[in-house]
Amino acid sequence: MNKTLTLEIDEQLLDRAHRRAVNENKSFPAWVAELLRRALDEAEDYEQDRRRALQYLDAGFHLGSRPLSREEVYDRS
């Protein structure tokens, strides 16, 4: 279900946006809707990737061996 949206924007910005829509062979409303859809999808993807990265950090990484002892960490030989 489509809704009507009223915006108040600078005339030069509106002209540039209209030309961009024409260059992409889209109506202006379709171009704006696609722009919003893309921006929201990117924001959701970013948030999912961020959560996944934080989960990896919380879980830690198994490097295949036991933790080094204090003596091994500070051994200078």
pLDDT digits (tens, 9 = 90+) for 2-57: 899 899 999 999 999 999 999 999 999 999 999 999 999 999 999 999 999 999 88
| Token digits of residue 13 | 């910005």
Residue-level pLDDT at 54: 93
And the tokens for 3? 């809704």
Q: What are the tokens at 16? A: 């540039």
The pTM score is: 0.63
What does the alpha-carbon distance between residue 9 and residue 12 come to, in Å, rounded to a whole number?
9
Residue 69 has pLDDT above 90, yes or no: no
Amino acid identity of residue 68, one-letter, is L
> What is the predicted pLDDT for the residue at 49?
93
**Geometric angle at alpha carbon 49, from 43 and 53, rounded to 5°:** 145
Tokens of 38: 């893309």
Joined tokens for residue 23: 């260059």
